[in-house]
Structure 1
Amino acid sequence: MHGQHARPTSTLSSPASAAARTPPPVQGGARHSRRGRITGRLRRRILAYRAVEFLSTHIPDHSGPGEECLLLVHVRQVVGQVHYRVCTHCAQGVITAMTLDERFRSTGLGTRALSHLRSRHPGLAWRSTLSMRITRDLLRRMRIPTVTADPHCPHAGRATV
């Protein structure tokens, strides 16, 4: 019996009696408990900033030249889209649609996507045609004015990208 000589011979300290004396672990411990609301929000925000990539695509013959889409991709899955039109002759950009998965709302991903558009197309004046409650606050924070009609650029007949 290898290693038996180092163990005490008392029956009071045997492993079976030690397990009988110690109370079972408490089930409401913090180690495996559900994360709180603030911790979960912070975790989603970090995930949105670290693991989401932006891919820009041109939409051919969708609603005219200059129509593009910014895809927000997380682990080979599209979690959001921003549809927009750009006219370099007028130096204006119009955001026509914006979608974002429910789990990525309130994480700052919308702000990051619009900031990405501004940095990708510098010098453009941005407007929006969106009037949904979810996007209205975001556009107000980003200082992007909302227009009531869907304005088409006079250069829409030509390629403007």
Structure 2
Amino acid sequence: MTDPPHSPSLPAAGAAKTPAHHGREGRHRLPGHRREAWRRRVLAYSQVELVPSSGRSTGDRCLLLVLVRKVVGHVEFRLCASCSEGVITEVSIEERFHRSGLGTRALSHLRARYPGVVWRTTLDRRVTRDLMRRMRVLRKAEDTRCAHARD
């Protein structure tokens, strides 16, 4: 008895492969993209420190996002203890940390640090709009301040 030239379980040498699935990389995924996003997320959560600081003007505060002695972003905000209201006036994060969860981590940190404060924002840019919607931070008119801040 002689064996056939190729076994039925293996495709012939010239036959095209037709896999049932496309493997880890997927048909439309960029190679290594998922690993890079995961690496950025781990870096954002394990090595970026959240450091409170004073803001540019009186009454403003700032949360710095620091990676090994380099500021990679900041969140500027105002607080009114009388109204129990916080207003986020600026969010800036380096582009390499976009979609890493760092913005969510920073706003969650503010909520934990100032419990009972209702957060609002004056921002209406495309970059921050999704973050504010995800974190359920309501939009506030640009020039409206509480009565305590006007005095």
Correspondence 1:124 to 2:117? yes
Of residues 48, 54, 62 in structure 2, which corresponds to 1:58? 54
Correspondence 1:79 to 2:72? yes
Report Cα offsets for 1:115-160 as digits up to 9, x if no partner.
Answer: 00000100000000000001000100000011232322221267xx
In structure 1, the partner of 2:12 is: none
CA distance in 1, matches of 2:94, 2:47: 14
Structure 1, unpaired ranges of 5+: 1-34
Task: Considering Cα pairs closer than 8 Å and 6+ residues apart, tell me whether 1 or 2 has the greater RCO.
Answer: 1
TM-score, scaled relative to structure 1: 0.72
Correspondence 1:41 to 2:1? no
CA distance in 2, matches of 1:50, 1:103: 16
CA distance in 1, matches of 2:147, 2:73: 29
CA distance in 1, matches of 2:88, 2:46: 25
Report Cα offsets for 1:84-133 as digits up to 9, x if no partner.
Answer: 00001000000000100011000000000000000010000000000000
The higher radius of gyration belongs to 1
Q: Which AA in structure 2 matches 1:126?
A: W
> Would you identify which runs of 4 or more consecutive aligned residues in structure 1 move more than 4 Å?
none
Matched residues, percent identical? 50
Q: Which AA in structure 1 matches 2:50?
A: F
1:59 positional shift: 2.8
CA shift in 2, pair 1:54/1:45, >3 Å: same
Report Cα offsets for 1:23-43 as digits up to 9, x if no partner.
Answer: xxxxxxxxxxxx700000000
CA distance in 2, matches of 1:45, 1:151: 35
Q: Which AA in structure 2 matches 1:58?
A: S
Structure 2, unpaired ranges of 5+: 1-30
